[in-house]
Structure 1
């Protein structure tokens, strides 16, 4: 099955190394539910132009702008009072966006990545800053800021064999669009993004990685044809080959390593 036109993200695949300075309206916080997510509560709103919360993370700050959650997110965990300035983003919005960047099978079927790809298209940021999205879960103690919850990224899912590689793919596609991904967490992380401090985002000059050969890996994805338009890739056996997907993961890791020097989770 042919993939949709992804020219919006890949207009120029061979980018020269560029320096970008964060400007107003350019900085987006992607806020997950990891144990360190409440750190964001104390940060001045002026650090960010938009705050995108995932699932339960809307509880951390009242001034969130967008809340992204899946169909099975319980109704009693959703905000009951939504301001006119706030937006609820559900499958009818994020599935087409995910498809525009290749689909869930290649992007990784967990909400941290789904939310990031939605923000990349809908908000067109220059910087996407992540907190509470490390996807590293302790054997004891709280796994989420609200206590102990299901470690969704660790479930047995063929799209999540290598979380670091999925973050490398996201980082590469974001860079092709002129966006730098950074991690505001100081904890161990699956995200292969450079570390940053929230207080520095306005003034920091971030280097866009130079990702060479991305078109080759994207063609491999297209040739495999592991595209499910509904996004519901788990509903039946599509015959996805785990080894083929592992090969793609390795390719994304290699490209990211060559482009920015980060060979493993930062």
Structure 2
């Protein structure tokens, strides 16, 4: 697939996602809705959800051009970038790698994907819900590191990662005002190749690739200490990258 010159909008379920409800569709090559976010706006192109997403909360009346994406599509896409153990098994990251593999955009704009859950008020735009990224899981021990990894892999294929501003975020992507989409250049990331290769090389030595994506079937064989070391390498690589205001190519 030829890389699109327009960004892909990725919608999560945090309350801030409502800021993207009325953005013109023409600004984006595609809109990807994660889990319940399909109800934020009706002009999404792809709905992506895990195998255990409740059927009664999924979209049913799809319009022409709308597609549902499940494990049969996103697991192979994540495998292209090393597999879900390294990518992080929560849907914001899973969707990001699927978009990279399938849509090859110039940029990904994450809205409502900050993975921060307040102790008061509604943590989701639709009310209450489970904080999936905060569950105890070997692949989600350092969300900032996982976001750095996604950002660096995206940069390697000329794709910028940005997030909507406002409040705390576990994503280390640079923030971008939604009103500036289509008017300002996306930041271009200059990765540190030595830091990237160091983290990638450590992944290769660990050998924690699981083609099926069902990493939990062999969880006792993983070393949390080594995964923490790997996370630190990716986090450091992300922090050592330099951003500029030049458009991604």
Scaled to the shorter chain, the TM-score interval is over 0.9
Q: Deviations over 1:84-120 (max 9, x none)?
A: 2111000000000011101111110100000010001
Q: Distance in 1 between matches of 2:148 and 2:105?
A: 18
Q: Distance in 2 between matches of 1:189 and 1:183?
A: 9
SS in 1 for 2:33: strand
SS in 1 for 2:187: strand
The equivalent of 1:253 in structure 2 is 235
Compute the displacement of 1:220 (Å). Answer: 0.8
The equivalent of 1:11 in structure 2 is none
Mean Cα displacement is larger for which, 85-94 or 39-48? 39-48
Q: Distance in 2 between matches of 1:78 and 1:256?
A: 35
Q: Is the 8 A contact 2:6 2:27 kept in 1?
A: no
Q: Distance in 1 between matches of 2:15 and 2:161?
A: 20
TM-score (norm 1): 0.86
Instruction: Give 5+ residue unaligned stretches, structure 2.
Output: 244-249
Instruction: Give 5+ residue unaligned stretches, structure 1.
Output: 1-22, 262-266
The equivalent of 1:183 in structure 2 is 163
Match of 2:16 among 14, 27, 36: 36
The equivalent of 2:98 in structure 1 is 118
TM-score (norm 2): 0.92
SS in 2 for 1:144: coil
SS in 2 for 1:205: coil
The equivalent of 1:49 in structure 2 is 29
- Matched length: 239
Q: Distance in 1 between matches of 2:78 and 2:68?
A: 17
Mean Cα displacement is larger for which, 168-177 or 228-237? 228-237
SS in 1 for 2:108: strand
The equivalent of 1:18 in structure 2 is none
Q: Is the 8 A contact 2:4 2:105 kept in 1?
A: no
Match runs of 1:60-209 below 5 Å: 60-209=40-189
The equivalent of 1:4 in structure 2 is none
Q: Is the 8 A contact 1:27 1:126 kept in 2?
A: yes
Compute the displacement of 1:24 (Å). Answer: 6.8
RMSD over aligned CA atoms reads 1.5
Compute the displacement of 1:43 (Å). Answer: 1.6
Q: Distance in 1 between matches of 2:134 and 2:144?
A: 12
Match of 1:241 among 213, 223, 232: 223
Q: 1:218 to 1:92 in 2, by over 3 A?
A: same
Compute the displacement of 1:215 (Å). Answer: 1.9
Compute the displacement of 1:258 (Å). Answer: 1.1
The equivalent of 1:16 in structure 2 is none
